[in-house]
Amino acid sequence: GNSVTQMEGPVTLSEEALLTINCTYTATGYPSLFWYVQYPGEGLQLLLKATKADDKGSNKGFEATYRKETTSFHLEKGSVQVSDSAVYFCALSGMGANSKLTFGKGITLSVRP
């Protein structure tokens, strides 16, 4: 079945540091890939998505590129802010019977001033 693997956390960065969160996946066919963010006490919010190979999703300064050759979808941001402190989830959605969202374990990011 489909699966998503995220790097282990938590991650603590200083404000304005570069962020990279690794995500790799296993799926048959051509899944759609997503990053979700969960702020404390809230539900998950879609951060960005990519639906085919080499697509780049971007939003709020975050970017991720769908790399089929390495089955990866790493999340990057050039300069993090304190307000980016949250839990980040990588997810994929397959086709047909596998259309449900499969999530990675999530990683907690803390950004200190």
Partner 1 sequence: DSGVTQTPKHLITATGQRVTLRCSPRSGDLSVYWYQQSLDQGLQFLIQYYNGEERAKGNILERFSAQQFPDLHSELNLSSLELGDSALYFCASSVGFATEAFFGQGTRLTVV
25 near partner 1, rule: CB under 8 A: no
Kindly indicate which of the ranges 14-22, 67-75, 77-85, 91-99 contains the residues binding partner 1, using the contact rule CB under 8 A.
91-99
Q: CB-based burial of residue 55 (10 Å sphere; 0-12 exposed, 13-18 middle, 19+ buried)?
A: middle
Residue 69 makes CB contacts below 8 A (sequence gap 6+) with none
Among 19, 23, 25, 31, binds partner 1 (CB under 8 A): 31
Q: Any idea what DSSP says for residue 30?
A: -
Residues that bind partner 1 (CB under 8 A): 31-32, 34, 36, 42-46, 49, 89, 93-103, 105-106
